[in-house]
Amino acid sequence: MIKLYNDDVCEYVNACKNEIIENLKNDDAEINDTNIYNYAYSDMQFYYDELKNGVRAFDNLKGNKKILVVASLGLWYGRKEAKRIFNNLQDILFKCFEDVNALYFEKKNSTLTLRATHHDGENFFKFYVLDHGKKYAITYDDMLRGF
């Protein structure tokens, strides 16, 4: 599982504090809360930017092919299944970002799966390229190398 986004920097610091402190030591930086949290913000932004670049490359290389998203939505009244077609992966991610606290990509059954946690529970999204009436699973590696 790859964490894409989390709106709680404290959780990120708690999960990565030892690694952050080691990196600060290697940079001869003072070890204090300000530097630890600044490093965490910078680190989170780096991974987010890297993912955005991968998504842009994927969208550029897939051409005019559409993307099918199959969703299982966790709502306050239970789960709901949904499908929707998008023109590009970037639009999908912005739609998935609505009202979530954390996003994770998972390598499940070789299909790119996004798990989005929010106040009602979790949403799961699977991604497929539509090409000449057939659907092909998108993998995490496909997305990062531009398909």
Quick: pLDDT tens for 51-100.
777 778 878 877 788 989 999 988 888 899 999 998 888 887 767 666 66
- Collect all residues with Cβ–Cβ distance below 8 Å to 76 and sequence separation of at least 6: 120
Q: What DSSP state is assigned to residue 119?
A: T
Give the tens place of pLDDT for each residue, 21-32: 999 999 999 999
Number of structural domains (the chain) is 1
| Contact in structure between 31 and 50 (CB atoms under 8 Å) | no
Residue corresponding to tokens 């306050």:
76
Within a 13 Å sphere around the CA of 1, how many CA atoms are in the beta-carbon half? 8
pLDDT value of residue 75: 85
Q: How many Å apart are CA 96 and CA 59, to the nearest integer?
A: 17
Question: Which position has the higher pLDDT, 117 or 103?
Answer: 117
Q: How confident is the model at residue 20 (pLDDT cuts 50, 70, 90)?
A: very high
* Residue pair 116/99 in contact by the 8 Å Cβ criterion: no
Residue 51: the pLDDT is 72
DSSP-derived secondary structure letter, 101 = S
Report the percent of the chain where pLDDT is more than 70: 80
State the sign of the Cα–Cα–Cα–Cα dihedral 95, 100, 106, 108. Answer: negative
Rounded to an integer, the average pLDDT of 1-23 is 77
Parent domain of 62? 1-147
